[in-house]
Amino acid sequence: MGQTHSSESAGFMIVGVIGGGQLARMMIPAAVNLGIEIRVLAESDGMAAGLAASDVGDYRDRDTVLAFAETVDVITFDHEHVPQEILRELVERGVRVHPGPDALLYAQDKLLMRAKLSELGLPVPDWARIENAAELGDFLDAHGGRAVVKTARGGYDGRGVRVVSAAHEADDWFIALAEDGRGGALLVEEVVDFRRELAQLVARRPSGDVAVWPVVETVQRNGVCSEVIAPAPQSTGRVADVAAEIAVTIANGIGATGVLAVELFQTTDERLLVNELAMRPHNSGHWSMDGSTTSQFEQHLRAVLDLPLGGTESRGAWSVMVNILGGPAEGSLADRYQAALAEHPTVKLHNYGKDPQPGRKVGHVTATGAELDVVVYEARATAAFFQD
Amino acid sequence: MGQTHSSESAGFMIVGVIGGGQLARMMIPAAVNLGIEIRVLAESDGMAAGLAASDVGDYRDRDTVLAFAETVDVITFDHEHVPQEILRELVERGVRVHPGPDALLYAQDKLLMRAKLSELGLPVPDWARIENAAELGDFLDAHGGRAVVKTARGGYDGRGVRVVSAAHEADDWFIALAEDGRGGALLVEEVVDFRRELAQLVARRPSGDVAVWPVVETVQRNGVCSEVIAPAPQSTGRVADVAAEIAVTIANGIGATGVLAVELFQTTDERLLVNELAMRPHNSGHWSMDGSTTSQFEQHLRAVLDLPLGGTESRGAWSVMVNILGGPAEGSLADRYQAALAEHPTVKLHNYGKDPQPGRKVGHVTATGAELDVVVYEARATAAFFQD
């Protein structure tokens, strides 16, 4: 496929994005600028990426995904939830899928991810695969009586993650796995004594080139990213080098294509441990839309099309991104524009076009500048206009 | 109108753009970021702004434009060619139109523009309204035997402009005006001995606030803009102040809303004279997409929605924009991506999605950085990949 579409549309490259959320939405400006046609398979009407939605349907339905793939040159994703069997059928049919199923596996299954990272010799928290409460008890005994239990699949933004201090506290998950009958297991990890969380983004194209942005500091509230500082303060030298090396090793080691986000713990004893992977543009990279020569969304499109990657120089000394979580209690984000934009003319506002709802990521703001305290203030003060 | 649509779509503001060219196209990224819904009335299918084309039809057809206006909150433009009678009917029906017909008149009719600028006391070339060859002859006699004749309406990119040295050289235009029978006339101007051309962009919102970008130098080839340097070299101090003051005086004087571009001559004796006006985002402002805190397209949307204007600080010391004129002799721009992007990873490429055609503006590139000679080289060398 692919070539027919390209020649039909004056040499445009058509990227198909599965999933219609804000990540797909934020690919649209990059696609428009680069002259790339973007088509989205959205879960429903009126989603954040609705402007580019060419199809509406269920990404778990084989026929829906196959029909969508027929209309594009390369398939990529707003999320990592497309079932492996569908991804593999696409590849068998000659569709270019980036990231491919072999790589996506490690974003879909945290047990496989942990095993792979250990195999690659990368620093990770102590972990184990556990199938029952007895095994959880053993792990707790060996790790000071506390541990983090995670479902291998389906968790995000803090869901599917539980800190436990007794072996029975994951019983409901063990029961669900037994009922599921597919021989699944849970992941248990030591509770890491971390000083802060970092994220390292890397882009990799199929032919192998990689590009990294500066490592950033991420601040979570209730398991959800609330703020990102780019670059991470006090991260020149060793921390930056190690973070970049970890991300590049992972990207090459699993054959990731597109943007890969590596969430890291910086421990109180100054080690970096890999926490999670995301294999797509990531909340920790939103600052790059305004703060970097190449945004993560443009870079992702370049990478999945196997085009040369763009420069990742920062546009200012500091960029701070603050998420708008939930939005106003009444009305819409737009109701606050007059006040917010008048007060903060240099802060860049991104509104995902979603209805406000408690906890929901409905937008973000990014400030960029020379003085970190000013930039942090500008970003936080602007975001505050949009939350009650 | 307006309010119904807003409330129906979760507080979004719907901007309707008449005209589907690259200026409408480049409003799309800004609209997506700000959560503004954009709808385009395109002249035909497959235009540059096709992604946002909600209607296809003739902007000179009253019913087509009125029907389109019913679906949006504010009307703005990709060009200045919508007939006055249609614009006035929109306003009478309560539609918000920005810029409005009273302002657009001065972008539509160069004789009215010259008269208005003279009335505002602004510096313009010597000019006259002429109805026949005898009047042209008189003007030539008084100005050293050479003059520039312009049709009052319909010219752009060098069309409708002619340098003459004999009274008979505009006879075909006089004949056409006589046949038209509406009492039209031509504009004649002195040939200005200019050192270079500048452009000053200003944005004005209906409530009156204005914001200016730094004055830029524009380079034309065959009457078409080929290159823009921002800011114009050697333009600190008086030149910058005078250029900004001229543009603000015009914007306020004619009640312009949205972006207004003022093309200026810098004469060999160091005066600034107003050449042309454009009442919309303008080629001389494309650099702002990558080189300014607020792009002209975002600013235009903010202005026509009467939102606070964004900061116009430059992101680097210098930005240079080079137009891609014509494109490759064979194939498409996309065929050159591998080579061009590999060589110039920090240059930002904008592809309008138009078929290559000699002389046609099919895209542009912008380089930004600290050293002007490096930035000029980067931009020109990148653009060269896309032209034969």
- Annotated binding-site members of B for ATP: 110, 150, 189-192, 197, 275-276
Please choose, from the candidates A236, A243, A237, the residue with its C-alpha nearest in 3D space to the C-alpha of residue A212. A243
Nearest-CA distance from A202 to chain B in Å?
A: 16
Looking at the fold, whether B174 and B203 belong to one and the same domain comes out as no
What would the pLDDT profile of A138-154 be if each residue is shown by its tens digit?
Answer: 999 999 999 999 999 87
For B304-346, how does the pLDDT look when each residue is reduced to its tens digit (9 = 90+)? 999 999 999 999 999 999 999 999 999 999 999 999 999 999 9
Q: How much is the pLDDT for A160? A: 87
| Among B97, B112, B146, residue at a domain's last position | B97
Residues B380 and B237 in one domain: yes
Q: Does B15 touch chain A (CB under 8 A)?
A: no
Tokens matching residue B11:
């507080």
Do B92 and B162 fall into the same domain? Answer: no
- Please count the residues of chain A: 388
Same domain? B170 vs B57: no
d(CA B70, CA B130): 41
Does A80 appear as a known binding residue?
A: no
Q: Which chain A residues have a beta carbon less than 8 Å from that of B11?
A: 331-335
Contact A319, B354 (CB under 8 A): no
Instruction: Specify whether B184 is located in the same domain as B203.
Output: no
For residue A356, what pLDDT band results from cuts at 50, 70 and 90? Answer: very high
Residue A330 counted as an annotated binding residue:
no
| A92/chain B closest Cα distance in angstroms | 27
**CATH number of the domain residue B85 falls in:** 3.40.50.20
- pLDDT tens track for A169-181: 999 999 988 888 8
Q: Is residue B65 part of a domain?
A: yes
Cβ–Cβ contact A26 with B under 8 A: yes
- The CA distance from A26 to the nearest CA of chain B, in Å, is 8
Could you tell me if residue B14 is inside a domain?
yes
Residue with tokens 């713990």: A265
Interface contact B335, partner A, CB < 8 A: yes
Distance of CA B201 to the CA centre of its chain: 9
A302 pLDDT higher than 70: yes
The backbone torsions φ and ψ at residue B377, rounded to the nearest 5 degrees and listed phi first, read -60, -50
| Stretch B47-54: mean pLDDT | 96
A134 near B CB under 8 A: no
Inter-residue contact B47 to B28 (CB < 8 Å): no
A78 to each of A116, A258, B131, how far by Cα in Å?
23, 12, 63
A236 and A173, same structural domain?
no
Name the average pLDDT for chain A: 94
Please answer whether residues A73 and A15 qualify as being in contact, where contact means their C-beta atoms are separated by less than 8 angstroms: yes
What Cα–Cα distance (Å) separates residue A110 from each residue in A167, B190, B211, B295?
20, 75, 51, 42
Residues A253 and A379 in one domain: yes
The answer to whether B313 faces chain A, any CB pair under 8 Å, is yes
Identify the domain boundary among B148, B167, B189. Answer: B189
Q: Measured between CA atoms, how close is A62 to chain B, in angstroms?
A: 27
Are B35 and A346 a contacting pair at CB < 8 A?
Answer: no
**Does residue B114 sit within a domain?**
no
With CB atoms and an 8 Å threshold, state whether B289 touches A13. no
Q: In this complex, which of B311, B342, B355 lies closest to A308 when CB atoms are compared? A: B342
Largest CA distance in chain A: 64
The reply to whether A28 touches chain B by the CB within 8 Å rule is yes
Query: Scanning every residue of chain B, which has its alpha carbon at the shortest distance from the alpha carbon of A289?
Result: B33
User: Which of B 358-387 lie inside 8 A of A, CB atoms?
Assistant: 363
Q: Using one digit for the tens of pLDDT, what is the confidence trace for A70-116?
A: 999 999 999 999 999 999 999 999 999 999 999 999 999 999 999 99
Burial of A196 (0-12, 13-18, 19+ CB in 10 A): middle
B355 touches A: beta carbon within 8 Å: yes
Residue in B6, B338, B353 nearest the CB of A35:
B353
A190 is in an annotated binding site: yes
| B184 and B256 fall within a common domain | no
User: Is B206 a domain residue?
Assistant: yes
Confidence of residue B156 (pLDDT cuts 50, 70, 90): low
Closest residue of B to A314, CA-based? Answer: B315
A contact test, residue of B6, B32, B365 with most A CBs within 10 A: B32
Could you give the 3-state DSSP secondary structure of residue B194? strand
Consecutive H or E run containing A23: helix A22-34
Residue with tokens 């009273």: B102
Phi/psi of residue A303, each to 5°? -65, -45
Confidence of residue A2 (pLDDT cuts 50, 70, 90): very low
Domain co-membership, A376 together with A249:
yes
- Give the whole-angstrom CA distance, residue A22 versus residue A1: 28
C-alpha span between A333 and A353 (Å, rounded): 9
Nearest to B11 among A28, A35, A331 (CB): A331
Cross-chain residue pair B334–A6, CB shorter than 8 Å: yes
Q: Does B12 touch chain A (CB under 8 A)?
A: yes
Contacts of B334 in chain A (CB under 8 A): 6, 11-13, 35
- Does A116 appear as a known binding residue? no
CA A318, CA A253: separation in Å to the nearest integer?
Answer: 31
Residue ending a domain, among A56, A78, A97, is: A97
Residue B6 has a pLDDT of: 38
Residue A157: predicted pLDDT: 59
The CATH number of whichever domain residue A169 belongs to comes to 3.30.1490.20
Distance CA B330, CA B17 (A): 32
| Domain hosting residue A7, numbered range | 3-97
Closest approach of A201 to chain B, Cα-based (Å): 18
Confirm whether A153 is domain-assigned: yes
Contact state of A345 with B34 under an 8 Å Cβ cutoff: no
**Helices B22-34 and B296-304: angle between axes, nearest 10 degrees:** 70
Chain B hits for A333, CB-CB cut-off 8 Å, are 11, 35
Total number of domains in chain A: 3
Q: Is residue A109 part of a domain?
A: no
A to B CB pairs, distance under 8 Å: 126
Q: Has residue B299 been placed in a domain? A: yes
Q: Is residue B234 part of a domain?
A: yes
> What's B327's domain CATH number?
3.30.470.20
Q: A215 and A260 share a domain?
A: yes
Is a pLDDT exceeding 70 seen at residue B21? yes
Q: Specify the range with the lowest mean pLDDT, choosing from A295-309, B116-130, B174-188, B276-290.
A: B174-188
Task: Name every chain A residue with its beta carbon within 8 A of the beta carbon of B12.
Answer: 332, 334, 353
Percent with pLDDT over 90 in chain A: 89
Bridge partners (DSSP) listed for residue A264: A198, A274
Residues A284-311 have a mean pLDDT of 98
Phi/psi at A215 (nearest 5 deg)?
A: -65, 145
pLDDT level of residue A243 (50, 70, 90 thresholds): very high
**Containing H/E element for B383?**
helix B372-384
Beta-ladder partners of A361: A325
Residues A32 and A85 grouped into a single domain:
yes
Chain B residues closer than 8 Å to A303 by CB:
none
Q: Is the CB of residue B176 less than 8 Å away from at least one CB of chain A?
A: no
Question: Which of A276, A255, A88 is CA-nearest to residue A187?
Answer: A276
Residues B373 and B268 in one domain: yes
CA A5, CA A70: separation in Å to the nearest integer?
9
Taking the CA of residue A12 and the nearest CA in chain B, the distance in Å comes to 6
Rounded to an integer, what is the distance from CA B210 to the centroid of its chain? 17
CA distance between the termini of chain A: 49
Task: For residue A260, give every residue at least 6 positions away whose Cβ sits within 8 Å of its Cβ, in sequence order, or none.
Answer: A99, A201, A202, A203, A204, A247, A250, A251, A277, A278, A279
Share of chain B above pLDDT 90, in %: 89
- The whole-angstrom distance between B347's CA and the closest CA on chain A is 8
